[in-house]
Amino acid sequence: MLMGVGIMFLTFIGMEAIAWAMHKYVLHGFLWFLHKSHHTRHQHTFEWNDLFFAWYGSLAMLFFIFGSEPLDYRFWIGAGITLYGVAYFLIHDVFIHRRIKMFGRTSNVYLKALNMAHRVHHKVKGKHGSESFGMLWVAPRYFKAASEVVNKQEQDKSGAVHH
């Protein structure tokens, strides 16, 4: 069981690297025609880009099916992919893009940095020229910028004078 949880945890971490590479080289590459819907304003609830969620869900389901009788490492890989999918949905779709209105503003430096990095990614509307392709990993420069914003907000709340 402990080894299974370890496999699940390593899979979750590995999914960030896989998601980064898929986003940079596949979504902003030959599958741009599907991902483009995510970089354009629209009034629809769903985007063509949401098909990638179905792809990863199907992949996790296959790992669950083939790793269930008897329970083996494939089951735990499926669990890691599923956990990453849940994190992706909550952080990317709910928190960052507010596709479901659940969270208000935050003073959490990590979440603010994540949001900043994603906004920089979306500044470029085309297939080429974007940066920040990950979902959970944030470049240090965004942490620094987010920390400065949070510190300024806290100073403003306390009524401190800043120069």
Mean pLDDT of 70-78: 95
pLDDT band at 124 (very low <50, low <70, confident <90, very high): confident
Beta carbons of 45 and 27 less than 8 angstroms apart: no
Residue with tokens 């790793």: 67
pLDDT of the residue at 97: 67
pLDDT in tens, 75-123: 999 999 999 999 988 887 777 666 666 666 777 788 888 888 878 777 7
Taking the domains of the chain in order of start, what are their residue ranges?
A: 2-158
Q: State both tokens at 60.
A: 């996790």
